[in-house]
Amino acid sequence: MRISALLMPLFFVACSNNSPAPGPQDLSAPPADLTYVPSALITARPYQSHVPTNYDATKPTPLVVLLHGYGFNGAAQNAYFGMTPVSDSAGFLYAYPDGTVDSSGKGFWNATDSCCNFGKVAVDDVAYLNAVIDDMSAQYNVDPKRIYFMGHSNGGFMTYRMACESGSRIAGVVVLAGAMWLDTTKCPGKDKVPVLHVHGDSDMTIYYGGSATAAGALAPYPGAKVSLADWATIDGCGPLATTTETKDLVTGPPNETAVSRHSCPTGLAAELWTIQGSDHVPAFATPTWPEAITAWLFQFHK
């Protein structure tokens, strides 16, 4: 696997060359009796966000943060996942920030040692993403018990890192085609977080079975089952068991996604959705895909 293989399709990659859009986006003015001042991290790196049409400032509201893949940006990832209409229908606040643009013009997250800070840039994305949570919470009635992350590819690696280092704030995560740390001592695992790992078994970019070499990545990384098993251990779950359950997430053959679950304590989950025959960028059916993953997340709260 070559480094270039970590890039997304050209029509998405082109989006990553845009400068970050002014943000937050689509936000109504904060209440008049509050003085909103963004932090230095947010001033330096504005993000895009969406407030649901039925937002009620008197009610604590879930927040979902979506992290893009290497070579994407937040807007492109949002378009691919189709999250904005579901934010309106399900009534959750939604943020989709941009990573840092590297020397080759590609947006990235400084996630694990495998992916994808190729230029070794000194950027603390854990601090930045916590600042995004704080910024949304300063402006809106974010429910602190219902904050969720989801990420694709490099964003999936970063989502695992957020669960590792900021799990006290995160009620659940969805990872598409990402991976955990190979060295699990780099994941403190102090807080238990429900995890859904989604992966195509024909992914030739981030391999479903992982990579024992650093070819195309910065370091070896575990596969889908090992990544999930490592997190299941943190959550105190039992072994992975296959089920007869299937899901129809992508266009094409019906019921193509096989479901497996670790047996976990009440309020926790470690679940694997294997998209059979799918590559790194599945052809998701919308609104089926965004509705399925948000419904999975909203089962859980801190």
pLDDT band for 105, please (50, 70, 90 cuts). Answer: very high
- The predicted pLDDT at position 299 comes to 97
Higher pLDDT, 56 or 22: 56
Q: What integer is the mean pLDDT of 21-30?
A: 43
Amino acid residing at 241: A
- Given a cut of 70, whether residue 272 has pLDDT beyond it is yes
On the question of pLDDT at 248 being above 80, the answer is: yes
CB distance 24 to 48 below 8 Å: yes
Q: What is the pLDDT of residue 216?
A: 66
pLDDT band at 9 (very low <50, low <70, confident <90, very high): very low
Percent of the chain at pLDDT above 90?
84
Length, in residues, of the chain: 302
Domain ranges of the chain: 3-297
The rounded distance, in Å, linking the Cα atoms of 234 and 248 is 30
DSSP 8-state code for residue 250 = B
Around Cβ 204, how many Cβ atoms within 10 Å? 12
Q: With a cut of 80, say whether residue 64 has pLDDT above it.
A: yes
Q: State whether residue 247 is helix, strand or coil.
A: strand
Least confident stretch, 31-35, 129-133, 284-288: 31-35
pLDDT at position 215 is 63
Query: At residue 13, does pLDDT exceed 60?
Result: no
Identify which has the larger pLDDT, 32 or 117.
Answer: 117
Residue 62 has pLDDT above 60, yes or no: yes
DSSP one-letter string for 81-141: HTHHHHHHHHT-EEEE---EE-TTS-EE---SSSSS-TT-----HHHHHHHHHHHHHHHS-
Identify the bridge partners of residue 174 per DSSP, sorted by sequence position: 150, 196
- CA atoms of 264 and 124, how far apart (whole Å): 32
In terms of CATH architecture, what is 3-297? 3-Layer(aba) Sandwich (3.40)
**Could you report the per-residue pLDDT of 134-181, keeping only the tens digit for each?**
999 999 999 999 999 999 999 999 999 999 999 999 999 999 999 999
pLDDT in tens, 192-231: 999 999 999 999 999 999 998 866 678 999 999 999 999 9
Residue 15 predicted with pLDDT over 50: no
Res. 252 pLDDT band, cuts 50 70 90: confident
